[in-house]
Amino acid sequence: MDVRTPSEFALDHVPGARNLPVLSDEERARVGTLYKQVSPFSARKAGAALVSANIARHLQSELQDKPRAWRPLVYCWRGGQRSRAFTHILREIGWDARQLEGGYKSFRRAVINDLPELVKPFRWLVICGLTGSGKSRLLAHLEQTGAQVLDLEHLAAHRGSLLGDLPDSPQPTQKMFESLVWDKLHRFDVQRPVYVESESKRIGTLQVPQALLQHMWGSDCVELTASVATRIALLKADYVHFMREPQLLCGYLDHLVQLHARVTVDRWKQMATHGDWDPLVEELLVMHYDPAYTRSIASHYPHFPHAAKLDLASDTEAAFTQAARTLLEDAPESVA
């Protein structure tokens, strides 16, 4: 139970935690103003009334049906008064509630300190392939079979390119992203390999943890290949929102004028407006994404020239299932 304000919770929290704030953002600001402008005593008195009312509301709603055996772990910013007050009341009721020592700040220190060490024991298998070859979908099928998968783009809520923003799914904060990666790594078995997609330093606005990147860049690679027609079909399915709103895509394409002639970008925008999707996607792949990806792979993944080849037969679910099965047969799930 994270009893901090909703804005504190949104910035970062223990993965899986539930936000039951004892003070709202507005209430916390009000108490802080009293502390500075009137007196600490007035602030504590007002804060206690607000905290008591909010705890009562949670007990009468979200916690109403919790069984006697429920054992919540409660935390606030530093493990101070907010979590102490809630923990005390829960224990007085009869639940075996515990307060997280040091609060969120102790958790954040653990994430920072643990990440460089957590990545070391694993055998990483990096799925490489040109844009649109289905790397993320292959990871999903691998995970469905029980393989260990670290899908960084899923955790980052971004597809990892200029056009990678997900509709109605804002990216988490950098701290939250790191917490999600930390949580996934803690759940993995070091005796089994971890599959991950080739990434550069950033996924959208987020920075991939440097220690993780270093291990990925030095790991064995698998190259997923697919025909241009298959790649076009997969990209059209993934970016259908651009097909519904071509002007949205045109806004992103304007960012490419630093890399391509204005006349070329304007032609791409015209193709989007007219719905010429297949030739537009093919040109973007051949002229922009494929050269950029090839340069990035060459500079960051020294083992890529020796990568095992994995061909995707089509854009169907059956093709991804077969590709995942083939990969797992060729890459044993146990590490000697």
Please state which CATH class domain 119-330 belongs to: alpha beta
pLDDT, tens digit, 9 for 90 and up, residues 235-271: 999 999 999 999 999 999 999 999 999 999 999 999 9
Query: Which amino acid, one-letter code, is at 229?
Result: A
CA distance 181 to 186: 9
Q: Is the distance from CB of 305 to CB of 220 less than 8 angstroms?
A: no
**Spatial separation of the C-alpha atoms in residues 232 and 282, rounded to whole Å:** 7
Active site residues: 76
Six-digit token string for 42: 């007035």
pLDDT-derived band at 333, boundaries 50, 70, 90 = low
How confident is the model over 72-77, as a mean pLDDT? 98
Read off the DSSP letter of residue 154.
H
Count CB atoms within 10 A of the CB of residue 112. 13
**Is residue 255 within 8 Å of residue 265, measured between CB atoms?**
no
Q: Residue 82 belongs to what H/E stretch?
A: helix 81-93
Pairing of strands 73-74, 202-203: unpaired
| Res. 162 pLDDT band, cuts 50 70 90 | confident
Domain boundaries, the chain: 6-110, 119-330
pTM of the model: 0.94
Q: How high does pLDDT run on average in the chain?
A: 95
H helical segments located in 188-245: 210-217, 228-238, 240-244
Work out the average pLDDT over 191-202. 96
Classify domain 6-110 at the CATH superfamily level: Rhodanese-like domain (3.40.250.10)
